[in-house]
Structure 1
Amino acid sequence: MTSSASSTSKRVAIITGAADGIGRGIALRLAKDGLDLGLFDLPRSQQKLEQLAEEIKNEFGVRVVNVYGDVSKEEDVKRLVDTVVQELGSLWAMIANAGISINRVLHETPTEELDKVLNVNFKGTFFCYKYAAIQLIKQGKGGRILGASSIAAKKGLPEQTVYSGTKFAIRGMTQCAAMDYGKYGITVNSYAPGVIETPLMDYLDEYHTSQTGQPKGSWTKSFENACVLGRLGKPEDVAKLVSFLVSDDAAFITGQSYLVDGGICFD
């Protein structure tokens, strides 16, 4: 970020799904940028989140507040925003990062799996946007709202009907929210990762290789050839984009969904 450390140190970012993968990478990068952080994840991730918070405080000297809950529950997201603002004083950026993926052919998708993915990915992101917007409007100083989209929001993929549908929906919600909140100086964007080395990708690889009988890791590795850079992404690749989008340098960018995929898909 180009802003001085003294100005960024007073800014606060909330990151959901912060214990692992891309969320963890974003937390480390924004701490390096000097932002104080509200980290959010499920109660089962408490040990990982506590370790991350300690690492961040020791290395970067910023303030960190951990909150536990479920993004699909509106009261948990409201409590998240309220707690972080109470503890850290304000809010600058909401990073609605939490998400899940369940791969199934459309007609083989049980309704309970449909509901679970919709609840976490779409409703969870909606609640994060909603309560961040309420707080940012009340503060009257602008701010940033970011959501986790996906390469699957730019192009449908086999056996990802529900996941892809929720990520397309996040793109649409991001565009609408950008129009709603521009007058308040609030920008709304999303990041659309491709194949990133995360626990979620390990889960998807295990599913696909179990279906085909191929060796574990082969499904993920196959994307190296599909990517023009010839490698898989890392959480820090996504975190660099998020760092830019929450900075003052991105003040004139809103309503966009940016691919971070090493050149698999082109707009």
Structure 2
Amino acid sequence: MSIVKGIALITGSAQGIGRGIALRLARDGFDIALNDVPSKRDQLRVVADDIEKIGRRTHLVPGDVAIEQEVKGMVQSTAQGLGGLDVMVANAGVCILSNLLSADLDDWERVMAVNARGTFLCYKYAAAQMITQGRGGRIIGASSVAGKFGNPLSAAYCASKFAVRGLTQTAALELGRYKITVNSYAPGVIETPLSTGLLVDKFSNMDKEMFEWTLAHVGRRPIKHDGQPEDIASIVSYLASKEAHFITGQCINVDGGIIMS
């Protein structure tokens, strides 16, 4: 087993981007705490088995990131089970598509609870643990290209991802004195069960005109193929590294060139 670089907690890590991040950080030398909703415990166990084959320790912390006591508990359990917390990746998220005029308030509340409140709670309790430890840390959140420009049929999702950007900047300002950097990543179209089901199976059947507008917008990107979870994992790997100590408050696009700045 190689030298341990630290301990990382990744939310929403049973599949897709979260799973990719967990595996990449394990290969980088981190011990990994895995979180997702309790109904995905079996999937988390499969990811844990894959990580343990790499030679890293794992710790399962199932829970709902929208519930404060569960987030507080998963951070405490990680610190007790693995010996601390050096990297928090607030990756968990949901997306419910709907037309603005027919949007259901319960759907709005659920998306904001997971994506915005959940990220806030992860940042808060991870920061508290890192400050107590006194060795700095890395906090990384999931925004989106939908957090940089509006998309049709996704008002709640866009609002929640814009919120992650503002939260990340504020946290970076407040936590820099503790040698904690705070950044976020903004994926474009990434091939995951979530994105494939939403874009193809639902969006295309809800509003053909808006679906075609979105395809045309995405189609203008210079890199035509869709991304993979490993593409997001690579930027998280860098942001979690010692080399990224001078980067904070940023929201980094990983989108094939949909947005250029």
After TM superposition, the score normalised by the length of structure 1 is 0.92
CA distance in 1, matches of 2:32, 2:66: 21
Counterpart mapping for 1:144-155 below 5 A: 144-155=138-149
Q: What amino acid is the match of 1:119?
A: A
Q: In the alignment, does 2:58 pair up with 1:52?
A: no
Counterpart mapping for 1:161-240 below 5 A: 161-205=155-199, 206-212=201-207, 225-240=219-234
Q: Structure 1 residues 219 and 200 mapped into 2: Cα distance closer, same or farther (>3 Å)?
A: farther
CA contact (8 A) 1:223 1:232 kept: no
Q: Structure 1 residues 132 and 27 mapped into 2: Cα distance closer, same or farther (>3 Å)?
A: same
Q: In the alignment, does 2:241 pair up with 1:254?
A: no
Counterpart mapping for 1:1-267 below 5 A: 5-6=2-3, 9-58=4-53, 60-205=54-199, 206-212=201-207, 225-267=219-261
CA contact (8 A) 1:197 1:235 kept: yes
2:185 match: secondary structure: strand
- CA drift of 1:104 comes to 1.4
Q: Structure 1 residues 220 and 107 mapped into 2: Cα distance closer, same or farther (>3 Å)?
A: closer
CA contact (8 A) 1:208 1:219 kept: no
- CA drift of 1:107 comes to 2.1
CA distance in 1, matches of 2:155, 2:78: 35
CA distance in 2, matches of 1:21, 1:112: 25
Q: What amino acid is the match of 1:194?
A: G
Q: Structure 1 residues 56 and 223 mapped into 2: Cα distance closer, same or farther (>3 Å)?
A: farther
Deviations 1:93-126 (A, max 9, x none): 0000000011112221111011101100000000
Q: What amino acid is the match of 1:31?
A: A
- Runs ≥4 in structure 1, deviation > 3 angstroms? 218-224
- Name structure 2 gaps, 5 residues minimum: none
CA distance in 1, matches of 2:222, 2:208: 27
CA distance in 1, matches of 2:207, 2:66: 33
2:232 match: secondary structure: helix
Q: Structure 1 residues 104 and 212 mapped into 2: Cα distance closer, same or farther (>3 Å)?
A: closer
CA distance in 2, matches of 1:220, 1:94: 32
CA distance in 2, matches of 1:254, 1:189: 5
- Name structure 1 gaps, 5 residues minimum: none
CA distance in 1, matches of 2:17, 2:223: 20
Q: What amino acid is the match of 1:237?
A: D
CA contact (8 A) 1:178 1:189 kept: yes
- CA drift of 1:200 comes to 1.0
Deviations 1:24-71 (A, max 9, x none): 00001001101000000011111111011001101x100000111100
Q: Structure 1 residues 222 and 36 mapped into 2: Cα distance closer, same or farther (>3 Å)?
A: farther
Residue correspondences, number: 258
Q: Percent identity?
A: 49
Q: What amino acid is the match of 1:99?
A: G
- CA drift of 1:209 comes to 2.2
CA contact (8 A) 2:190 2:229 kept: yes
